[in-house]
Amino acid sequence: MKSLLVFFAAVLAGLISADMFVRSWHGFLECAASFVLLVQKKISSQVFFYRLMRSVPFTILFLLLLILCFKVYSSVLGYGREELEQLGYFIGAVPRTGYYLVSAGRMIDAMFKP
């Protein structure tokens, strides 16, 4: 019974950490796209700073939450060392990351619209 609970905790941790990674990565890509648009003079500096003020806080927030999630999951709770836990984490992380990869092209194209 305990193994089943640990497995579901690993699935949940995989899903949550993958979501935080995707959101943080998306914010970073949005910052990079804004910088490219500024260099190409497709957006003004005011729009550039507006975009940064919108994406940088979320990038930092989700990156810090991701670090906290790993710290709690591995150091505090001591999970992630057994094969069943690693499998559960993988099962939780893959669907969220896969969904992002499927829709990433459309989202990145939207970032480059002035």
* DSSP result, the chain: -HHHHHHHHHHHHHHHHHHHHHHHHHHHHHHHHHHHHHHTTSS-HHHHHHHHHHHHHHHHHHHHHHHHHHIIIIIIS--S-SHHHHHHHHHHHHHHHHHHHHHHHHHHHHHT--
Give per-residue pLDDT as tens, 92-111.
999 999 999 999 999 999 99
Condensed to tens digits (0 to 9), the pLDDT of residues 9-40 reads 899 999 999 999 999 999 999 999 999 999 99
The model's confidence at residue 45, banded by pLDDT at 50, 70 and 90, is very high
Query: What pTM, to 2 d.p., does this model score?
Result: 0.86
pLDDT category at 82 given cuts 50, 70, 90 is confident
pLDDT grade for 76, boundaries at 50, 70 and 90: confident
Cα angle at 39 between 36 and 41, to 5 degrees? Answer: 110
What is the predicted pLDDT for the residue at 44? 94
CA–centroid distance for 104 within its chain: 12
Question: Token pair of 79, please?
Answer: 């999970």
Q: At a CB cut-off of 8 Å and minimum separation 6, what does 62 contact?
A: 20, 21, 23, 24, 27
